[in-house]
Amino acid sequence: MAENEPQKSAVYPGTFDPITNGHLDIARRALRLFPNLILAIAPNPRKTPLFTLEERLEMIRQATEGLDGLRIESFDGLLVDYVAQKGASAIIRGIRAVSDFEFEFQMALMNRKLDTSIETVFLMPSEEYSYLTSTLIKEVASYDGKISTLVPKPVTEKLREKYGSKAS
């Protein structure tokens, strides 16, 4: 990269309710490609989150301490507008399985239609996280299942509080 060339940045959007080790894996992979990454928490009108926006922001801050080049923010509105406002050139999306691809592909094409200057980059998580979803984590935690190897420690603790359980 030339000395005066600006560093590329990307936005990794999601509801992150809660953030999982799979999300962190994607964030680390994205930071290898983009020295500046914004992990952007988005509300999703189709979902009712377990955690408030403030709780999610705090858990993510704790879970990502020490990841250089990462900023954590929240946003509302069209993703491409937010990405353009931040001066980013790419949207990061994780693809766990073929079942994710159709929806993600549709979204990527719509985002490209809305702003041709923004690319979507699909990243696959490590195999050990390829089945992991926030929904699955919440379900397992609600039955006192062992989740400590699947989510960061602050998330395990918050899930214990929410479900009044041992969620380990």
d(CA 102, CA 33): 24
Q: Which amino acid is at 157?
A: E
Q: Where are the beta strands (DSSP E) in 15-162?
A: 36-41, 70-74, 90-94, 119-123
Catalytic, out of 8, 28, 86, 96: 96
Catalytic residue flag (residue 113): no
- Catalytic residue status for 96: yes
From 23, 29, 56, 93, the catalytic residue: 23
Reply yes or no on whether 134 is catalytic: yes
- CA atoms 68, 78, 123, 125: torsion sign: positive
The yes-or-no answer on residue 23 being catalytic is: yes
Residue 14's nearest CA partner among 125, 116, 114, 147 is: 125
* Diameter of the chain measured on Cα atoms: 54
Q: Of the residues 9, 56, 134, 138, which is catalytic?
A: 134
DSSP 8-state code for residue 95: -
Measured from the Cβ of residue 55, the count of other Cβ atoms closer than 10 Å reads 18
Enumerate the active-site residues: 23, 47, 96, 134
